[in-house]
Structure 1
Amino acid sequence: MTFIRTPLLAALLGACTLAAQAQATAKPDGQWRSSLGLGASLSSGNSKTSNFALSGDAVKLSAQDKVSLYGNAQYARSGGITTGEQMRAGGRYDYNLNPELFGFGGLDFTRNKFANLSLRSQLSAGLGWHLIKSPATTWDVFGGLGYTSDKYKDAMLIDGSSRTSYSYMGLLLGEESSHKLSETTSAKQKLVVVPNLKNRGEFRATWDASLAVSMSKAMSLNVGVALAHNSDPGPGRKTTDSLLTTGVSVKFD
């Protein structure tokens, strides 16, 4: 999942090449497969800007379990000023308890300088259900508990106190699907909502979606969309961040 504030979004959309969300091939043979997207844009003269983007996706799937890893990062400068600096990385382990029911455990990390977030760590665990599981389409729903620990660049007023860190328990509710639309086109999407159990009424939500069109056996053209919502982001900060990316990724099968 990537999140970015509106000024940086405009800068990224003007870049020549960006790394879209990479999609690794998932085959139930117990072998690791991965995909890597890398992009950069530089300009000089009347406009002096630089944009760099990196994304990665890896999966190991068998009839019994699944291990998935992801990571992405963006960095941007304009006129000698840093306008974007963020990263996300994490992974999840799924174990099938029966053909429909599975248990999972995950660990995710997020950093976003312009959202005042030095590091967010989230540990989660729960149960899920395979609603659809076919060669062309998979669709899972899942739920559980998560423990989130936030560290802030600048102190924030939380629960009546100025804090540089904040931890809380939350519910974890979500769904994700993958679709093989044709021999050359595939799509993925994932929605996760995390209600705060410490301060009821507050929640975070993320939605990530990507479309990949194969240009060859190893290379794909990708388009990705990411949305992140925080019901209480702090004074002077917007509740929703968004990112649209396009680019090329390379698969390692």
Structure 2
Amino acid sequence: MLHLLKAVYGKQGASRKGALILAFTTALCADQVVLKNGDRVTGSIVKKDAKEITIKTDKFGLVTTAWDEVASIIADKPLTVVLPDKTVSGTLREENGRVQIATGTGTVTVAPADITALRDADEQKAFQRLDHPGWLQLWAGTATIGFAGTAGNARTSTFTTAVTAARATRTDKTSIYFNTIRASAFVNGQNSDTAEAVRGGVGYSRNIRPRVFLNVFNDYEYDRFQNLDLRAVFGGGIGFHAIKTDRMMLDLLGGADYNYSKFSTFTRNNAELYWGDDFTYKLKGSTSIVQSYRMFNDLNSLGDYRVNFDIGMTTKIAKWLNWNVSFSDRYLTNPAPGRKTNDLLYTTGLGVNFAH
């Protein structure tokens, strides 16, 4: 090889020779995927999942193509290969329409259609982490604190907090949320509270089919100026993953619940039917939107209902820091006497990301 390079470039072509050697060596060490139309993708195979294969290239980043468009494949790095009856690890070569997997103990030859999944070392590590995680693992979320105030003719202060966290595996998801607001004003020598509300809850869902899941939840609410001392809701139902991609998720769900609401002068115990959606969308860059809607229809008093609507936007400022804006609306057709049907809580502030 070196003699050939000398003949072509001469002694003055040493730099070109080195570059060519480097390119030649890189090509030998890289994974290669040849498509049926003749295109060749060179890089590192990241994964093959469902009907697509993903390759990481130096110039174009991640490239994804349909698995049934692949004519041949070469993987010089060991990959985890999932077959219908077992999982093996090794390098790959395809000859005469068959894939040869060179493992540490021998060679396994299979048809391309028999390969359920491929994973590189990082993908396999992430897969195993989701397979049997401990209860304290996989939690991720954000905590936000907001404060605003004035001084002078009127002294006002507003304090808000919000915490959201979720633990998601391949088969289930646990989520918790908590937000509160407290505001007061001091005007003309008189001090008074102007807002005081607390909302929180926990939910759990588990897939029973790739797109179908069961869910249960428990919500709590306190609102001083709605005369609501406590609302506790226990419910459950069934849901459908209508959209589930890397950037967008839309779940449709419905079911039944029990609503215990204790106001300052009376108590309600209602059975309800509910329906709604959960929507998440990741915008380009570092911004994401999360929206949730629930309609609760009172079965004890037909025609009465309540609505929970929440929407928030999060923008990452740094790896651990973000800026949050959220709106939380609660509508009740039959509030306490003298109180309005609608309460809106909106907050903004800096938040801290956490993950485990």
TM-score by length of 1: 0.83
Q: Which amino acid aligns with 1:37?
A: T
Q: How many pairs does the alignment contain?
A: 218
Q: Comparing both structures, which one devotes a greater share of its residues to helix?
A: 2
Q: Distance in 2 between matches of 1:214 and 1:102?
A: 30
Q: Which amino acid aligns with 2:257?
A: G
Q: Secondary structure at the match of 1:135?
A: coil
Q: Distance in 2 between matches of 1:224 and 1:190?
A: 11
Residue 263 (structure 2) aligned to one of 142, 152, 177:
152
Matched, 1:63 2:170: yes
Q: Which amino acid aligns with 1:39?
A: G
Paired residue for 2:20?
none
Paired residue for 1:73?
180
Matched, 1:34 2:141: yes
Paired residue for 2:193?
82
Q: Distance in 2 between matches of 1:198 and 1:139?
A: 31
Q: Secondary structure at the match of 1:118?
A: strand
Matched, 1:52 2:163: no
Paired residue for 2:10?
none
Q: Distance in 1 between matches of 2:285 and 2:209?
A: 30
Q: Distance in 1 between matches of 2:149 and 2:255?
A: 44
**Percent identity (aligned):** 30
Q: Distance in 1 between matches of 2:268 and 2:148?
A: 36
1:97-116 correspondence runs (5 A): 97-116=208-227
For the pair shown, which has the larger CA radius of gyration, 1 or 2? Answer: 2
Shift of 1:166: 1.3
Paired residue for 1:218?
320
Q: Distance in 2 between matches of 1:245 and 1:75?
A: 11
Q: Distance in 2 between matches of 1:114 and 1:182?
A: 40
Paired residue for 2:343?
241
Q: Distance in 2 between matches of 1:225 and 1:87?
A: 14
Shift of 1:128: 0.3
Q: Distance in 2 between matches of 1:132 and 1:143?
A: 16
Shift of 1:47: 1.4
Q: How big is each residue's C-alpha offset from its partner over 1:213-253, in whole Å with a ceiling of 9 and x where there is no partner?
A: 11111111112122221111132221122233222111012
Paired residue for 1:22?
none
My pick for the range that moved more, 99-108 or 238-247, is 238-247
Shift of 1:141: 0.5
Q: Distance in 1 between matches of 2:349 and 2:173?
A: 27
1:163-242 correspondence runs (5 A): 164-242=266-344
Q: How big is each residue's C-alpha offset from its partner over 1:16-40, in whole Å with a ceiling of 9 and x where there is no partner?
A: xxxxxxxxxxx99450112100122
Instruction: Give RMSD over aligned pairs.
Output: 1.5
Q: Secondary structure at the match of 1:48?
A: strand
Query: Gaps spanning 5+ residues in structure 1: where?
Result: 1-26, 156-163
Q: Which amino acid aligns with 1:134?
A: T
Q: Is the 8 A contact 2:298 2:305 kept in 1?
A: yes
Q: Higher relative CO (CA 8 A, sep ≥ 6), structure 1 or 2?
A: 1
Q: How big is each residue's C-alpha offset from its partner over 1:28-68, in whole Å with a ceiling of 9 and x where there is no partner?
A: 94501121001223433321112111100010000000000
My pick for the range that moved more, 232-241 or 175-184, is 232-241
Shift of 1:104: 0.5
Matched, 1:250 2:326: no
Q: Distance in 1 between matches of 2:180 and 2:325?
A: 16
Q: Is the 8 A contact 2:215 2:237 kept in 1?
A: yes
Q: Which amino acid aligns with 1:117?
A: L
